[in-house]
Amino acid sequence: MAWHHLQYVAGLCRLGHDVMFIEDSDDYSSCFDPRDCVTTNNPAYGLHFLESSFNRLNINASWSFYDAHVDRWFGKIFAQVNGFLAHADVFLNLSGLTPMRP
């Protein structure tokens, strides 16, 4: 699933677009950790995977993750995400799973 999303981010960046990858935990246990084969509320594995994937693939894009369980942003903070979205030409919700929060 990760590569499905990353191909859009990488491709749009390489075409010269200003891209921000935004992920949301939603309100249920949605963080999968393949080391233990469990779904939890802990985003640590996914955040590490995301950052290392961006670095390994030379993706020059911002990213942000909202953890609804602790009401905390990782990567870019809400003000930066909100400002980016306010001026965005396009918002792609690739899987239709990202909740549309205020």
Q: Over the stretch 17-67, which tens digit does the pLDDT of each residue have?
A: 999 999 998 888 888 888 989 998 999 999 999 999 999 988 988 999 999
Q: How confident is the model at residue 77 (pLDDT cuts 50, 70, 90)?
A: confident
Q: Is residue 76 part of a domain?
A: yes
Q: What is the pTM (predicted TM-score) of this model?
A: 0.85
**What b/e sequence results for 63-76 when a residue is b if at least 16 CB atoms lie within 10 Å of its CB, and e otherwise?**
bbbbbebeeeebbb
Angle value at C-alpha 65, between 60 and 68, nearest 5 degrees: 175
Q: Into how many domains does the chain fold?
A: 1
Tell me if 6 sits within 8 A of 80, measured CB to CB: no
What residues make up the domain containing 81?
2-86
| pLDDT more than 70, % of the chain | 99
pLDDT given for residue 90 in this prediction: 92
Q: Are strands 31-33 and 38-40 parallel, antiparallel or unpaired?
A: antiparallel
Q: Is residue 101 part of a domain?
A: no
> Strand locations in the chain, DSSP E?
20-24, 31-33, 38-40, 62-67, 72-75
